[in-house]
Each structure stands twice: as structure tokens, then as C-alpha cells.
């Protein structure tokens, strides 16, 4: 049956009633001991991801940074605080969504993840997508956006050109609405980018409010 809802929080609570199939614990445990690429050699902790696996909204970032590596959790540094602020502005908590990265271990010096690292690590992300079956995927930054769009066979452009729109894509057999956004780290010291990020989160809130057909 279907539930008609209007507010963001009710949307999250309604979808939380949906069952999950493959367990996220299995993926998490594999990520924590993964040695499939050289990044494991210098990590303190792998960062599988965290949040509500029954959420309609999956956030995908690039890779862990320093504090994420220390704590083993995604988005816990300054960029994470801004992400939490943006979520709060649209009446969501971190616990209402799921947050992960395309690469689960920190690249040395916070450099960009390399193609080998992305290709080796993203099967974990693909499994997470299959478990969560999100209605919305928010890609944070150019690397996450590039991976998701390539996976869907869609055209990739600069993140500043891709943001501000909603894309209906087929990813791993699921019809998903993808909302590319700037990475919060890019908006920390750039007022224009922070305004873009705020606009895009407001767009996400509108999409959640407009979504009225949810499986129970």
C-alpha cells in the first residue's frame, strides 16, 4: 500500500518501515579489514559509512579525511559539521540518512582518489546502494558525481555545471533521482559555494515533500 506524506521527517519515518535484505553489517565488516588496494597500509581506520539503511536518501562523498581516518566515521571534521548544519536546515538529522564515500580509506595527504582505488573500492558502494535502494542519491563533489553518472551511462560535466538540477538515472537497475552538490569542504570558506549548497539542500527538501508514493 502507499502512504501520502508531506513533511520531510514524516517521509523519513515512513520509509524506515521498509525491510532491508542483505545486511549492511556484512559490508561494514569487510570494509574494516579490506586490503584490496594500497590505501590500507597507511590508514588508521577504514570508514564504511553510517546512518539509516532504510532511508530514502543516500549521501555519497569522495573519501575520508584526517578526522574520518582517526574516528572511522564519515564527515566528522569541519565539512561534516557543515553537512550537519545543512541537514538541520531541512529538518533532518544525520541519523535520518545514510552517509558514505566512494573510497573507504583516506588517501595520503587528502589527495584525490586514484582510478585504481576507486575501481577497487566502489563494489562496496554498489552493494550499499543495493541494500538501501534509495529514492534519492546526493553526490557530494566531482568524484562522487563522476562515478555515479558514469555508472548510469550519463554525461559528466564540471560539478558547478551539474549542480542545481535533478537527474533521473538508472543505477544498478534502480530508478534513482540524483542531486549533484558541491562537496561541503568546498563551501567552508567560499560564501558563493555555501549559498549553492544551501539552495541544493532546499531543493532536496522540496523533493522529499513532493514525494507522496511510498511503499509500506
128 closest CA partner among 206, 18, 63, 54? 54
Q: What is the pTM of this model?
A: 0.88
Sequence-distant (6+) residues with CB within 8 A of 164 are 196, 199, 200, 203
How far is the first Cα of the chain from the last one, in angstroms, to the nearest whole number? 6
- Rounded CA gap, 90 and 26, in Å? 31
User: How much is the pLDDT for 108?
Assistant: 96
CATH code, 2-215: 3.40.470.10
3-state class (DSSP) for residue 157:
coil
Task: For 183-194, write each residue's pLDDT tens digit.
Answer: 999 999 999 999
User: How much is the pLDDT for 132?
Assistant: 96
Tell me phi and psi for residue 211, to 5 degrees.
-75, 115
Task: For 92-106, write each residue's pLDDT tens digit.
Answer: 999 999 999 999 999
User: How much is the pLDDT for 99?
Assistant: 98
∠ Cα 116 106 174 (to 5°): 60
Q: How confident is the model at residue 209 (pLDDT cuts 50, 70, 90)?
A: confident
* CB 100, CB 48: distance < 8 Å: yes
pLDDT surpasses 70 at 155: yes
Cell numbers given for 133: 535502494
User: How much is the pLDDT for 18?
Assistant: 43
161 closest CA partner among 191, 182, 186? 182
Cell numbers given for 15: 520509509
- Mean pLDDT across 53-68: 97
pLDDT surpasses 80 at 2: no
- Mean pLDDT across 63-68: 97
- Rounded CA gap, 42 and 107, in Å? 8
200 closest CA partner among 177, 150, 166? 166
What percentage of the chain carries pLDDT values higher than 90? 86
Q: What are the residue boundaries of the structural domains of the chain, listed by start?
A: 2-215
Q: Over the chain, what is the mean pLDDT?
A: 90
Helix (H) or strand (E) holding 181: strand 174-181
Amino acid at each position: 500500500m502507499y502512504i501520502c506524506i508531506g513533511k520531510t521527517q514524516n517521509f523519513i519515518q515512513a520509509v524506515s518501515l521498509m525491510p532491508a535484505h542483505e545486511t549492511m553489517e556484512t559490508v561494514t565488516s569487510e570494509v574494516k579489514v579490506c586490503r584490496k588496494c594500497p590505501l590500507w597500509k597507511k590508514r588508521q581506520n577504514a570508514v564504511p559509512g553510517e546512518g539509516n539503511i532504510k532511508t530514502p536518501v543516500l549521501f555519497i562523498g569522495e573519501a575520508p579525511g584526517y578526522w574520518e581516518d582517526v574516528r572511522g566515521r564519515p564527515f566528522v571534521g569541519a565539512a561534516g559539521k557543515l553537512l550537519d548544519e545543512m541537514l538541520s536546515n531541512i529538518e533532518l538529522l544525520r541519523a535520518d540518512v545514510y552517509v558514505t564515500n566512494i573510497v573507504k580509506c583516506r588517501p595520503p595527504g587528502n589527495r584525490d582518489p586514484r582510478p585504481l582505488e576507486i575501481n577497487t573500492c566502489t563494489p562496496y558502494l554498489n552493494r550499499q546502494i543495493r541494500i538501501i535502494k534509495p529514492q534519492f542519491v546526493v553526490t557530494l563533489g566531482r568524484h562522487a558525481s563522476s562515478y555515479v553518472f558514469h555508472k548510469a551511462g550519463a554525461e559528466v560535466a564540471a560539478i558547478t555545471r551539474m549542480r542545481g538540477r535533478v537527474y533521473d538515472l538508472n543505477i544498478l537497475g534502480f530508478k534513482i533521482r540524483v542531486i549533484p552538490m558541491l562537496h561541503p569542504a568546498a563551501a567552508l570558506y567560499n560564501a558563493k559555494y555555501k549559498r549553492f549548497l544551501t539552495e541544493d539542500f532546499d531543493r532536496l527538501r522540496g523533493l522529499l515533500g513532493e514525494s507522496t508514493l511510498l511503499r509500506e
